[in-house]
Structure 1
Amino acid sequence: MLGIGNIRTDSYDYGSGMAGATISLRDGRYILDDNPASLPFLDDHYFAMELSGSFESINYTGDPITTPTRSNQAQFQRFTMATKLTKFWGAPWGLKQFSSSNYSLYGQKNIIGTSDYITTYYEGTGGINQVFLSNGWSLGKHFSVGLNSSYLFGNMTQTEYLYGENYVGSQLNTSNRLYYAGFYFTGGLQYQGKISDKLLLGIGMTASRNMTLKGDRSLSMSAGDPDEGSPTNIIADSSLGSTAFRIPDMLAGGVSFTYDRTFTLAGDYQYGKWADAGNSTNGYNYKYNNSSGLSIGMSYAPRKVFTYQGQYVEVEKYRLQGGFYLNHEYINMYGQQISDKGVSLGIGLFSKRSTLGYMLNLQYGSRGTTLNNLIKENYFKIGITLSYRDLWKKRRLQ
């Protein structure tokens, strides 16, 4: 309900089963979103395409909840395409979810000057989308740099339904809408080099400069139950002026070790300076804290060689992943900084008759706390990524 909703921290790509610990990793087949410096190491002559979605089931607990409450939702997460433009230059483009706001709840609103309350229902929808174009360049065999350029846009709507007919005459419906847009850039660095014949070290870093999402606010009001016919308009999409939300400086770093190109252990750390962003608390009992997150993951991927369209191709037989994560989010409610922690599992499979790949990941975790009358989420997520690639031109890269 606050800020721009839940900012997505799960990437739904190659590293989803590793708790997203991919800042220091490179891969020839998969498109890694977290660090654009990984892009020049995609396989030559191929274009790749990935489509990701998720299903999430959340159980809510806490003193304010009088009956067992669970919500389920399925969401599109990401679509991206990529290719090698030259021997040292890789570039993907696509669309993915940056944040989401999706909730519904009942509450009681006090009538000022009386001891009476009106039953109130709140419903929120929307979020911020991200259209992006990334570029990554290799600086020799070991070093690479990259830049993700994206445009953030979207809207969020909160509708309040008042059911107190004795006070307002009929059901009163008020919708507040926020429209946001702005450009967002993330830079990346990466190094990979051998420690021994079979052990590979990877180091990565990303940084995003603070930016402001600028937008507009509008309000609509109507009377009557929408389920029983068309309500009577009182205010139709009236402008309330401009608004803004500031996204702060963000830093992240990662390190990985890969043995015999088969077993990988990786860890990432992220930090966001939300306390300096300057977003207003609007008088509510919350504030913005600096965010931080730690993720550690493992991957086991044995390889095989086969012939495809007259060429020898090396691919993974399958991929098994596991990981855990702990995130301290940017919202502090009633003196409690909201934390998100959990474990993840992943499996990658490949079609024997085509170049399709399938990545399935599972997450189980908890978010929030029941202290100070707050509500805790215990959730289960299923994510799937479909990967397709094929030869796009049989020529020598320049």
Structure 2
Amino acid sequence: MIKRFIVGICLLFTAVVFSQQNSSSPYSYYGIGDVKFKGTTENRSMGGLGIIPDSVHVNLQNPASYSSLLLTTFTVGGSTTSTTLKTDSAESDASRTTLDFLAVGVPVSKKIGVAIGLMPYSAVGYRIENTSVVDDIERYSQFNGEGGLNRVFAGVSYKVTPSLSLGADVQYNFGTIETKSINAIPSIPIQYPTREINTTDYKGVSFNIGAMYQTKLNEKYDWFTSATYTPSANLSSETDRQLATITYSNGLNELIVDEIDVRVSSGDVKLPSKFTVGSGLGIKTKWFAGLEYTFQESNELGNRFDNVTSANFETSHKVSLGGYFTPKFQSYNSYLSRITYRAGLRYEKTGLVINDESINDYGLSFGVGLPLNYYASNLNLGVELGQRGTTSASLVQENYVNFFVSLSLNDRWFVKRKYD
């Protein structure tokens, strides 16, 4: 019964993940959009920490963790985001509800584990309007964008020794991003506004390798160390660009008056390399606290529109501090004692620089893991309060609240029947 339920959920969410628009940030205008967090609700509730080789949760951040699974684990998660966009002179609200990940991890043997899944890789979703005066002439511009990239992955992990595990993922990235810009001079009614639409298809393969080490300190405490490395990769892209003059009917409906040009271009887009290392201490079934650091090379992606020159990229840095506490995970008379309580802090220098201002991201997160009475399965809930960007230099500050939820369902699959 549980397997049929899992298959049904997989079919439902596979269709959703490829069609959702999961960003409302003006910063998704740059590069290939907002790069989404690669991890589960459990990790996200601890500030994004991905150090622990869990036996009942799939750790999507480090493929070396798959060999630690004791049961076949299916996990699916989603989130809803409420954001307040603020400038020096205005404020508005936006919200999005999205699927974040879908994965299955399988322990093949005592030393080998595998996992497959899919998740959004990046998201584009913005609408920007600007009115300026140049040489005493008022000019109006509008920019719209939607789409993003998705990622399908498959990985394997091998337990070299009881303490050391190694793993690797292969990832196929694909998706479409459509951007539209409109430029007009309202004071000259005989001059039609111009419109440019770029539709870009991306696809390409990337890799991720990882290692995990765990040992005992003073025969009581568990010490974990984790490292992952993602080499740089190239995505092929093909862009269909349409240029046209337009007019408006009743001020609302856009009508194409004359198509100026249609072009198709292709090229490669480079994804920068990334390195993550972390370490932590605790008693695995009781509590854990850890620190993780991520370094990413400068993003070489440019702007989508040639007339935007105020943005560039720098190296990215992220620091996560978090952990969990479970009062008594085997308690038979107190459900509250079996709940896992999680918390974390996160600081990220995103690597995007606009008007000489670095765009930074801060987050504070909390969460709980609620046990379900079936093979250590659980329902995970979390909330994150954060801020990205600044109102300085005519930029946008995003104050956001993320609510996220996931299911981690564990069962014994592929067991040979003794009786037919």
TM-score, normalised by the number of residues in structure 2? 0.83
Say if 2:346 is the partner of 1:325: yes
Secondary structure at the aligned position of 2:330 is classed as strand
Q: Give the structure 1 partner of residue 404 of structure 2.
A: 383
Q: CA deviation at 1:240?
A: 3.4
Q: Give the structure 1 partner of residue 113 of structure 2.
A: 90
Residue identity opposite 1:137 in structure 2: Y
Residue identity opposite 1:392 in structure 2: W
Residue identity opposite 1:186 in structure 2: N
Q: Distance in 2 between matches of 1:228 and 1:370?
A: 31
- Across the aligned residues of Structure 1 and Structure 2, the Cα RMSD in angstroms comes to 2.6
Matches for 1:251-270 after TM superposition, within 5 Å: 251-259=275-283, 261-270=285-294
Structure (1 or 2) with the greater strand fraction: 1
Residue identity opposite 2:217 in structure 1: I
Q: Give the structure 2 partner of residue 352 of structure 1.
A: 373
Secondary structure at the aligned position of 1:30 is classed as coil
Q: Give the structure 2 partner of residue 370 of structure 1.
A: 391
Q: Distance in 2 between matches of 1:117 and 1:220?
A: 25
Residue identity opposite 2:263 in structure 1: S
Q: CA deviation at 1:151?
A: 0.7
Q: Give the structure 2 partner of residue 132 of structure 1.
A: 153
Q: Distance in 2 between matches of 1:389 and 1:260?
A: 19
Matches for 1:1-398 after TM superposition, within 5 Å: 1-9=29-37, 11-22=39-50, 24-43=51-70, 46-63=71-88, 66-108=89-131, 114-162=135-183, 166-167=188-189, 172-221=194-243, 223-225=246-248, 231-232=255-256, 234-235=258-259, 238-259=262-283, 261-274=285-298, 278-280=300-302, 284-301=309-326, 302-304=328-330, 317-352=338-373, 356-394=377-415
Secondary structure at the aligned position of 2:162 is classed as coil
Residue identity opposite 2:292 in structure 1: D
Report the CA distance shift for 1:218/1:55 in structure 2 as closer, same or farther (over 3 A): same
Secondary structure at the aligned position of 2:264 is classed as strand
Q: CA deviation at 1:11?
A: 2.1
Report the CA distance shift for 1:260/1:214 in structure 2 as closer, same or farther (over 3 A): closer
Q: How many residues are matched?
A: 378
Residue identity opposite 1:126 in structure 2: G
Q: Distance in 1 between matches of 2:57 and 2:45?
A: 14
Q: Give the structure 1 partner of residue 18 of structure 2.
A: none
Moved over 6 A (4+): 226-230
Q: Give the structure 2 partner of residue 312 of structure 1.
A: none
Q: CA deviation at 1:239?
A: 3.2
Q: CA deviation at 1:96?
A: 0.4
Q: Distance in 2 between matches of 1:213 and 1:251?
A: 20
Q: Distance in 2 between matches of 1:13 and 1:269?
A: 19
**Can you list the C-alpha shifts for 1:329-367, whole angstroms capped at 9, x where unaligned?**
111111111110120001111223686521111100111
- The 10-residue stretch of structure 1 (337-346 or 260-269) with the greater mean CA deviation from structure 2: 260-269
Q: CA deviation at 1:374?
A: 1.6
Q: Distance in 1 between matches of 2:44 and 2:31?
A: 25
Residue identity opposite 1:9 in structure 2: F
- The 10-residue stretch of structure 1 (93-102 or 214-223) with the greater mean CA deviation from structure 2: 214-223
Residue identity opposite 1:41 in structure 2: S
**Can you list the C-alpha shifts for 1:218-263, whole angstroms capped at 9, x where unaligned?**
1234534599668337449933311332122211101011226210
Q: Distance in 2 between matches of 1:123 and 1:260?
A: 48
Q: Distance in 1 between matches of 2:117 and 2:64?
A: 17
Q: Distance in 1 between matches of 2:260 and 2:109?
A: 53
Q: Distance in 2 between matches of 1:294 and 1:158?
A: 32
Secondary structure at the aligned position of 2:108 is classed as strand
Report the CA distance shift for 1:230/1:119 in structure 2 as closer, same or farther (over 3 A): closer
Report the CA distance shift for 1:237/1:255 in structure 2 as closer, same or farther (over 3 A): farther
- The 10-residue stretch of structure 1 (283-292 or 263-272) with the greater mean CA deviation from structure 2: 283-292
Report the CA distance shift for 1:231/1:30 in structure 2 as closer, same or farther (over 3 A): same
TM-score, normalised by the number of residues in structure 1? 0.87
Contact 1:216/1:239 (<8 A) preserved: no
Q: Distance in 1 between matches of 2:416 and 2:190?
A: 73
Unpaired runs of at least 5, structure 2: 1-28
Residue identity opposite 2:264 in structure 1: L
Q: Give the structure 2 partner of residue 310 of structure 1.
A: none
Of all paired residues, the percent bearing the same amino acid is 20
**Can you list the C-alpha shifts for 1:35-69, whole angstroms capped at 9, x where unaligned?**
111110101xx321111111111112222xx3321
